[in-house]
Structure 1
């Protein structure tokens, strides 16, 4: 994606907005804030600028600007460490999935609310024995008059305790091929039978949950797509989940903090070279991610390239934290002044075990990449 007059203007507008939000004290520049920074009021202000649902068609309340323009906005939000987790999943994948597979009634009901920052979604995929191996899901959906009854437990369901809906992958039929007989459902997170238990991060933050479905009744109108098409729909959805800038910019605020510290002192040639090497790696992965955005705008499959972005990007995230620490050794401290280098370093270190796990482990992703390359050879 080449910067145009329009994209440069958009980037400038987002930076001005973020400067206003910093003055309000809502943007603290924390690493991984797209995951843990749940601030629905911030999301609604962002939506008021037209920066949520940017890739959705105007007839459904979206901006109709495509994924490439959306990348400009989210790059700036991630680099600033803005609190965007409330609307993140709805904007990134629930909205596009409903647009691709939903009924007209579902589109009219959910998409305008997503674009307005009034409807927030969680991901109901992973389970205890089905993390990256989603074909092993055991949550079941049984036919009942007028709909379905869902029973099972999901794990690592971010925001299930505060969001409005979750798109849940469940088994609706038995087949020798585990990829068959799966379907997706839009589940009201306030429905009877829905229960969540917190899973705390090392920082103590409550982002993830056990998500229990104890005979939850879901009407026919909340089946997403066709019965039995769940696997095909999920693999397409994962292209949105795995390819975005959050897979390599989660720790960027730490890099910004490092750069500020080096500017205050006299950076050595070795420090400058190491910082340059990290920036070069980020730039290279960014080019891959932009290629996925172009493919999504053109309606082309992007699952293999998305897996590559996620594998390379999340490995870089973890390595960046430790390399930054070597460039400028300091004691990491969660109790330090918010926005300071020791504070950023502490949160980046405590979040780092999850970088190569969430969204699919790197081992699984490499299998996807290998099979994709074999098909193309």
Structure 2
């Protein structure tokens, strides 16, 4: 059996100095936001806030200064992330570009593609991820969108769904097929991971792309269906090597699955629960708060470990999958526990903060175990890493 570990992150005193700076900024920037607005950090869209973060050097923090970054450590970046999420800051617009698209371009992009990085770091270029497809979901090896080689580039046909913020994004990182497994030298037909590639797609200047809204049950618009109909991508849009998309995307998912967003999605509700229970909660309330706090502290330790591994240039895909799976379980547990402890009906229009935050969290909680990889997919990755399959 192969075991994988979570080594302790290296010490980083600069990160704790930075924490104070971030808290001071947030105390002012979020002073007028209600708790229910803070609960929406995943979907909170505020271009001015993103630019303000860029001006302070809090986007692209670990990137080289030559590409608009600031040469800081992964642990310093982690501090900014967890403070932003715990405070309920509206990070949605720059979130994906900072978390995974920028690092991917930095690692495998061409010099021309890397010219986008300073705009990301400034909080002025927003990205979406073209991964999921109809009837595919988290099984990325089953993608059917295809980029066929033509003179001067590729012709793309297919559909992506659940594409967050595509309607507000400047670019998409597209994951699609560029050939079948049997067409690729050295690949066996049974290898579903062969013949897939990634592309950097300019959504504003590429004919043949249609973006349609997918409305959430809450009435929110952050998901989209993106249809490619003979959309031409020049050769320079290929990101990394053709056919190496699977290796690239699995490395990218280590950034997506391991951060504090994987256990802090319900944090605003936990804060409101503690406030509602007061300084002298019932025995049941004290036990529940203690247990949830213990879970979050443990997840934070695991997540910080992954940040340290990323800083060391490792690819902690297995550790990230475990953090994401365990984190989603805790995130979904918090609203259920809150309902049992407080006699209040969830009501998104309520003037009572607890009831409004409870309603928002309950409506979104089912998605916590889907986004970033469904639970079944993650557990398959973990089982394979442990040598169980």
Equivalent residue in structure 2 for 1:206, among 217, 221, 236: 221
Question: Is residue 2:243 matched to residue 1:237?
Answer: no
SS of match in other structure, 2:254: helix
Q: Residues 250, 331 of structure 1: CA spacing in aligned structure 2 closer, same or farther, 3 A cutoff?
A: same
Equivalent residue number for residue 130 of structure 2: 124
* Greater relative contact order (Cα < 8 A, sep 6+): 2
Q: Name the CA distance, whole Å, in 2 between partners of 1:100 and 1:30.
A: 35
Q: Name the CA distance, whole Å, in 2 between partners of 1:297 and 1:267.
A: 41
Q: Name the CA distance, whole Å, in 2 between partners of 1:296 and 1:74.
A: 15
Q: Name the CA distance, whole Å, in 2 between partners of 1:4 and 1:18.
A: 22
Mind listing any 5+ residue stretches in structure 2 that lack a counterpart? 1-8, 182-188
RMSD between aligned residues: 1.7
Question: Is residue 2:259 matched to residue 1:251?
Answer: no
Equivalent residue number for residue 336 of structure 1: 350
Equivalent residue in structure 1 for 2:379, among 335, 356, 366: 366
SS of match in other structure, 1:111: helix
Q: Residues 310, 31 of structure 1: CA spacing in aligned structure 2 closer, same or farther, 3 A cutoff?
A: farther
Question: Is residue 2:128 matched to residue 1:115?
Answer: no
Deviates more, 1:57-66 or 1:361-370: 57-66
TM-score (normalizing by structure 2): 0.92
Equivalent residue in structure 2 for 1:65, among 56, 69, 72: 72
Question: Is residue 2:142 matched to residue 1:136?
Answer: yes
Mind listing any 5+ residue stretches in structure 1 that lack a counterpart? none
Question: Is residue 2:158 matched to residue 1:152?
Answer: yes
8 Å contact 1:203–1:350 — kept in the other structure? yes
Shift of 1:3: 7.0
Q: Residues 28, 115 of structure 1: CA spacing in aligned structure 2 closer, same or farther, 3 A cutoff?
A: farther
Shift of 1:320: 1.2
**CA distances 1:311-346 after superposition (whole Å, capped 9, x unpaired):** 0001110011111221223111110138x1111100
8 Å contact 1:68–1:293 — kept in the other structure? yes
Question: Is residue 2:201 matched to residue 1:187?
Answer: yes
8 Å contact 1:31–1:251 — kept in the other structure? no
Q: Name the CA distance, whole Å, in 1 between partners of 2:42 and 2:201.
A: 21
Equivalent residue number for residue 21 of structure 1: 29
Q: Residues 317, 31 of structure 1: CA spacing in aligned structure 2 closer, same or farther, 3 A cutoff?
A: farther
Equivalent residue number for residue 8 of structure 1: 16
Question: Is residue 2:188 matched to residue 1:174?
Answer: no
Deviates more, 1:191-200 or 1:220-229: 191-200
Equivalent residue number for residue 286 of structure 1: 300
Equivalent residue in structure 2 for 1:53, among 56, 60, 64: 60
Q: Residues 304, 343 of structure 1: CA spacing in aligned structure 2 closer, same or farther, 3 A cutoff?
A: same
